[in-house]
Amino acid sequence: MLKNFAWKAFENTGDISTYILLKEIEEKNRLIEETSMTKEEVAISSVLQNE
């Protein structure tokens, strides 16, 4: 939702700082997804080692 807002704001204004905000939001979302996937992989690995 914030990503869409930032994109629309950039689209309407062309303000480079809004574009930078958009890219920061995308990067944080990517890091959150990677962290979540890594935690899931570690959990699966732990379960398999204990069997």
What pLDDT, on a 0 to 100 scale, did the predictor assign at position 41?
A: 80
Ramachandran quadrant class, 15 (left: phi over 0; alpha: psi -120 to 50; beta: rest): beta
| Per-residue pLDDT tens over the stretch 21-51 | 999 999 999 999 999 988 888 877 676 676 6
Ramachandran quadrant class, 14 (left: phi over 0; alpha: psi -120 to 50; beta: rest): left
CA torsion sign for 46, 49, 50, 51 is positive
How many domains would you assign to the chain?
1
Which structural domain, as residue segments, surrounds residue 37? 2-50
| Per-residue pLDDT tens over the stretch 11-29 | 999 999 999 999 999 999 9
